[in-house]
Structure 1
Amino acid sequence: MNRLQEKKLKIIGRLERINFPEWDLFDIDAKIDTGAYTSSLHCHHIEPFSKEGRSYVRFNLLDPSHETYNEKLFELPVHATKNIKSSNGTTEQRYIIKTAIRLLDKEFKAELSLADRSEMRYPVLLGRKFINKRFVVDVSKKYLSDNN
Structure 2
Amino acid sequence: MKDKKVLPAKPEKHVIGRRELVALPELEIEEIEAKIDTGAYTSAIHCSDIHEETTADGKKVICVELLDPSHPQYNHKKLRFAEFVFRDIKSSFGEVQQRYVIRTTIELFGEVIEAEFSLSDRSDMKYPVLIGRKLLKGRFIVDVSRKNVSQKFKIKQKQKHTNL
- TM-score w.r.t. length of structure 2: 0.82
CA RMSD of aligned residues (A): 1.4
Q: Is 1:127 aligned with 2:123?
A: no
Decide which of 137, 143, 146 is 1:141's aligned counterpart.
146
Equivalence for 2:25? 21
- Aligned partner (choices 35, 47, 50) of residue 31 of structure 1: 35
- Pairing 1:105–2:117 present: no
- Counterpart of 2:73 in 1: which secondary structure? coil
CA offset digits 1:28-70 (Å, max 9, x no partner): 0000101110111100000112334443201001121211110
Identical-residue share of aligned pairs (%) = 45
Is the Cα–Cα contact under 8 Å of residues 77 and 97 in structure 1 kept in the other structure?
Answer: no
- Which residue in 1 is equivalent to 2:12? 8
The answer for the alignment partner of 1:87 in structure 2 is 92
Runs (4+) of structure 1 exceeding 6 A deviation are none
Which of 49, 64, 69 is equivalent to 1:64?
69
- Equivalent position to 2:47, from 25, 43, 53: 43
Letter in 1 for 2:29: L
Question: Which protein shows a greater Rg?
Answer: 2
- 1:73 corresponds to: 78
Shift of 1:15: 0.3
Shift of the 132–55 alpha-carbon distance from structure 1 to 2, 3 Å rule, reads farther
The one-letter amino acid paired with 2:13 is L
For 2:61 and 2:83, the matched residues in 1 are separated by 5
Count how many residue pairs are aligned between Structure 1 and Structure 2. Answer: 144
Q: What residue ranges of structure 1 are gaps of 5+ in the alignment?
A: none
Gaps of 5+ in 2: 1-8, 154-164
Give the TM-score normalised by the residue count of structure 1. Answer: 0.91
Q: Distance in 1 between matches of 2:106 and 2:60?
A: 23
